[in-house]
Amino acid sequence: MPYEQTQTDTSAVPSDAILSPIHYPSVREMDQAEPQDGPLFRATMLNFERTANETRSALKKVIKRSEDYAQTSGLMYVSNNEFSQVLSKAANVNPPAFGPFVDHYHRESSRLLSSFYLDRAQLVRSKLVEPLRKIYENDIKTTDSKKKDFEERSRDFYASLSRYLSKNKEADKVKDSKFSAKKREFELTRFDYYSYMQDINGGRKGQEILSVLTNFATQDYALINQLLSDIKNLRPNLDVLRETVTEADKEFQLIRAGREERRRTLETSTLESEDLDAELAAQAYSVQLEKSSAAKQGLLLALSKTSSDIQVVPKTNWHKYWVVLDHGRICEYSNWKQSLELHTEPINLLMASVREAKNVGRRFCFEVITPQLRRVYQATSQTELVSWLEAIQAAIAESIALKGKKQHGDSSIISNTNHRNLSSASSNGGNALHRRASSLSPGQRHTRSESVEVKVSKPSLVSVLKTLHPSDEYCADCGSRTKVEWCSINFPVVLCIDCSGIHRSLGTHISKVRSLTLDKLSHETVELLRNTGNALVNDIYEANLPSSAQKQAMLDSPLSRASFIKDKYTKRAYVQSVPGDALETLLEAIKANNIRDIIWCLASIEGVIPTIAMETALKQDALMIAELLGHNGVALPTDEAFLASCSVKARQYIAYRTGKQVVIPASTTTAPKVTRHSTSTSHSELPTGGRATD
């Protein structure tokens, strides 16, 4: 098979990698007539034989290494599959760490590589090993036997020549004809041997080997080129993964800085127990948002036996228990570091009272008294003591209220008294900051129960939003009604699970995605969702969208949907600009409590929004608007003069959001006394799950 050069596109090939045209000797140049048998012929054949032996050894090694290469490709196929299985198992164990890499890149690339390794192993065996072995076995391997046959013919001919020349002229013609036959056989053998050696030394056999290698190279190139083309299609997914990781790295750098700051605070903290009231005041707003007065859990110390006398037992008999207050009962769990084990029967608080324990000889103690027992507990700090007293008092009052409602047949009372999952019990404390709780008489308990809100079955946040806003039944971006249980709190819109994933890929600086069922949203965020709706937000972010038909066309494929969402929120391509100065319009809208214009201005303003917007909202105690501004990157004020002019409610909000105590100069104002019922109804009325989030 003659060698044929093909034209290739060399534009993408480095200049030093492009070789000059191949000058292959023509068939006429290689097929020269054999010289007469003599020193030149013998020297030529000796050179041919040496080259033939080297070619045979080299070809044998090529075949061996080709077999090894095919086997190695098979092993790479097996190793790649095993590597993929390990990564898939790791993704199941820890989805955040391994899942995005597996889903966005490795699963598909591994499939392509496995197919490539398997196809290449088969290609090497079928197009390289087998054809070369056939040439070796049929032609190259027979070099020694052909040489031996030629040498035997040569010896026989020259022996016949000697006998022929020794005869006189009168020798019979029969002997002459025998010598002629011997000479003819020798010349034919010499011709065949010379042609055979010439074929191996750059002749027909060399061309057959080159033809096999060229055929393999052509198919191998096609296989590699197809792999590269398929791998190139994974680039968009890889870009999304890289952008997500970059944004996550930025977030974790902020988290790390926050952790370091908190650690430095812990290292330098010098708060004494009597100074904790000021710290508690800064945390009061958080407590109010988590207002679940009849649920608490935490570590307490108590005697191992409920009947033990405190005055006579040694200090070693006090043990640590994980105590859960829930549904009007106190449950103690031992061995809580490994697995929860109920230590004693739960204490029913219906006929109980609680007070700070005196003359115990230990600090931070309180006692729970029922008709059956008296149980003394020790808290870990004065803060926890006050928190437990307040929580137990509220639980007692609630138990009494529930009992009274049941006796009057109120159908709205929750009758289910099964113990809730331990992880869902609130661990936040009460809010009695400047007083010590004391035991309550039955009359006092009855009086307190009148102000305790009775728990009733409450609708989920998802159902509430759908009731308030019919547009929230559909995803704000794609219009789907499937799993519309997510939201982006800074726009704010309600989303389906698919579009929420695209929002996450935009980065938290663009869209802050939360679950309506898994995350615990702040009270202000819940109010924000209640007061907006998808229709209101889409009127702003899709104002310049040509038509609903064009929108549907933009959502035909996952890639086009991602592009549409990026244009909508990142580029804000469909937002109509606010006429005039957007910042002035924003401040006026905040003063007028116009939520629609506020969202419109936030969508129109480029860059960082000044803190004056947040100050305007806080001056009016518009905490819902302050929450929206905070979600959109507006910083909280730090000026002491401004903080001094704020209301108690606004200062509590700032303290909750910053996680720091708001220090007001004594000459300006005094620390307010915060009570449990000083704020509006918290978001706990609309349970959204167990994870705390902004």
Is the domain of 585 the same as that of 436?
no
Final residue of a domain: which of 410, 429, 449? 449
Q: CATH number of the domain that 144 lies in? A: 1.20.1270.60
Final residue of a domain: which of 449, 478, 503? 449
Q: How many domains does the chain have?
A: 3
Asked if residue 278 is part of any domain, the answer here is no
Radius of gyration of the chain (CA): 45
Final residue of a domain: which of 449, 476, 494? 449
- Residue type for 510, please? I
Query: pLDDT at position 13, please?
Result: 53
**Structural domain boundaries enclosing 389:** 292-449
CA proximity to 533, closest of 597, 485, 465, 586: 465
**Contact assessment for residue 506 and residue 500, using Cβ atoms and an 8 Å cutoff:** no
Is the domain of 524 the same as that of 614?
yes
Asked if residue 282 is part of any domain, the answer here is no
β-bridge mates for residue 356, sequence order: 366
Asked if residue 248 is part of any domain, the answer here is no
Is the domain of 77 the same as that of 203?
yes
Query: pLDDT at position 412, please?
Result: 40
Classified as helix, coil or strand, 138 is helix
Asked if residue 454 is part of any domain, the answer here is no
End-to-end CA distance of the chain: 75
Asked if residue 181 is part of any domain, the answer here is yes
Is the domain of 430 the same as that of 494?
no
Give the span between the Cα atoms of 589 and 635, in whole angstroms.
Answer: 18
Query: pLDDT at position 617, please?
Result: 93
Is the domain of 333 the same as that of 360?
yes
Give the span between the Cα atoms of 499 and 508, in whole angstroms.
Answer: 14
β-bridge mates for residue 324, sequence order: 297, 331
In this structure, the number of other CB atoms found within 10 A of the CB of residue 370 comes to: 15
Is the domain of 420 the same as that of 510?
no
Query: pLDDT at position 7, please?
Result: 46
Query: pLDDT at position 247, please?
Result: 83
Is the domain of 233 the same as that of 112?
yes
**Contact assessment for residue 56 and residue 146, using Cβ atoms and an 8 Å cutoff:** no
Is the domain of 118 the same as that of 98?
yes
List Cβ neighbours of 133 (8 Å cut-off, separation of 6 or more).
63
Is the domain of 556 the same as that of 632?
yes
Give CA 473 to chain center in angstroms.
Answer: 28
Asked if residue 1 is part of any domain, the answer here is no
Query: pLDDT at position 119, please?
Result: 92
Is the domain of 421 the same as that of 513?
no
Is the domain of 74 the same as that of 160?
yes
The phi, psi pair for 291, rounded to 5°, reads -65, 100
Asked if residue 582 is part of any domain, the answer here is yes
Query: pLDDT at position 607, please?
Result: 83
Q: CATH number of the domain that 353 lies in? A: 2.30.29.30
Mean pLDDT per 10-residue segment, the chain (694 residues): 44 54 54 66 73 80 90 91 92 89 90 92 92 82 73 75 71 70 77 74 77 91 92 89 85 81 73 44 42 70 72 69 90 79 86 88 91 91 90 87 63 38 36 34 37 50 92 92 92 92 87 87 92 94 82 80 91 91 92 94 89 92 93 88 87 80 50 37 40 46
Is the domain of 30 the same as that of 130?
yes
Q: At what angle do helices 648-658 and 276-289 cross, to 10 degrees?
A: 90
Query: pLDDT at position 24, please?
Result: 55
Query: pLDDT at position 225, please?
Result: 93
- Residue type for 689, please? G
Asked if residue 382 is part of any domain, the answer here is yes
CA proximity to 298, closest of 428, 168, 420: 428
Question: What is the value of pTM for the model shown?
Answer: 0.42
Query: pLDDT at position 136, please?
Result: 81
